[in-house]
A = this chain, B = another copy of it.
Amino acid sequence: MKTYSISEVAKELNLTVYTLRYYDKEGLMPFVERTPNGNRLFKESDISALKVIECLKATGMPIKEIKTFIDWCSEGDSTLEQRYKMFLERKANVEAQMEELKKTMEIIQHKCSYYKTAMDGGTEDIHKKEKLAKP
């Protein structure tokens, strides 16, 4: 079975070796084995697990909470419900983030056209004047 060194994994996941070692220090990678002289030896499944960790990070989950999840994984089937609930919560969280981003996007688009008009008119005053109908 193919294995990988820390720098290979770092390259594959677009992380630095520092970051990977930091994750390990924080307890996110208890599954990674070592060579006799202590080097980390990553299996394909370890890379998959790291991708899940990256996914959880992308949802905004702090590393301490990700560790809790990893601990649950190590504990086995007795924690299946907790893990399921956690993912449901993450899902709700991501949905909320999407909503938030949508609102943000609307404002940004509004600003884009605001500045387009202002630029074309040569001045921002164009927006102030439009609102006051000439008497």
Interface residues of A (CB under 8 A from B): 52, 55, 58-59, 76-77, 80-81, 83-84, 87-88, 90-91, 94-95, 97-98, 100-101, 104-105, 107-109, 111-112, 115-116, 118-119, 122-124
B112 touches A80 (CB 8 A): no
SS of A interface (majority): helix
Selected from B58, B77, B88, B111, the residue in CB contact (under 8 A) with A100 is: B58
Contact check, A115 vs B83: say whether CB atoms are below 8 A apart.
Answer: yes
B residues in contact with A94, CB < 8 Å? 101, 104-105, 108
Residue of B nearest to A77 (CB): B123
Cβ contact of A107, chosen from B52, B98, B109, cutoff 8 A = B52
Which of B84, B97, B118 meets A119, CB within 8 Å? B84
